[in-house]
Amino acid sequence: MVTTPAPRVGVLALQGDVREHVRVLTDLGADVTTVRRPAELAAVDGLVLPGGESSVIDKLARAFGMRGPVREAISAGMPVYGTCAGLILLAERITDGIQGQLTFGGLDVTVRRNAFGSQVDSFEVDLDVAALGEPPVHAVFIRAPLVEEAGDGVERLATLDDGRVVAVRQGALLGTSFHPEVTGEQRFHALFLDMVRERAR
**pLDDT digit string, tens, across residues 9-65:** 999 999 999 999 999 999 999 999 999 999 999 999 999 999 999 999 999 999 999
Please, what is the average pLDDT of the chain? 93
Report how many helices (DSSP H) and strands (DSSP E) the chain contains, helices first.
6, 12
Active site annotation includes 148: no
What is the sign, positive or negative, of the torsion defined by CA atoms of 103, 165, 15, 181? Answer: negative
Report the range of poorest mean pLDDT among 1-5, 54-58, 184-188, 193-197: 1-5
Kindly report the CATH number assigned to the domain that includes residue 158: 3.40.50.880
pLDDT band at 123 (very low <50, low <70, confident <90, very high): confident
Residue 130's domain spans which residues? Answer: 8-200
Indicate whether 33 belongs to any domain.
Answer: yes
What is the sign, positive or negative, of the torsion defined by CA atoms of 107, 112, 116, 122? Answer: positive
Indicate whether 186 belongs to any domain.
Answer: yes
Out of 20, 21, 148, 179, pick the active-site residue. 179
Q: What number is the average pLDDT over the span 125-150?
A: 93
Q: What number is the average pLDDT over the span 106-126?
A: 84
pLDDT value of position 121: 64
Indicate whether 1 belongs to any domain.
Answer: no
| Number of domains forming the structure of the chain | 1
Separation in Å, CA 150 to CA 93, 133, 153, 172: 10, 23, 8, 16
pLDDT band at 91 (very low <50, low <70, confident <90, very high): very high
Out of 20, 21, 181, 185, pick the active-site residue. 181
Indicate whether 3 belongs to any domain.
Answer: no
Out of 84, 92, 148, 155, pick the active-site residue. 84
Indicate whether 42 belongs to any domain.
Answer: yes
Indicate whether 194 belongs to any domain.
Answer: yes
In single-letter form, the type of residue at position 144 comes to A
Indicate whether 35 belongs to any domain.
Answer: yes
Indicate whether 60 belongs to any domain.
Answer: yes
> 115 vs 173, which has greater pLDDT?
173
The answer on pLDDT for 150 being more than 90 is: yes
The answer on pLDDT for 5 being more than 90 is: no
Active site annotation includes 181: yes
Active site annotation includes 53: no
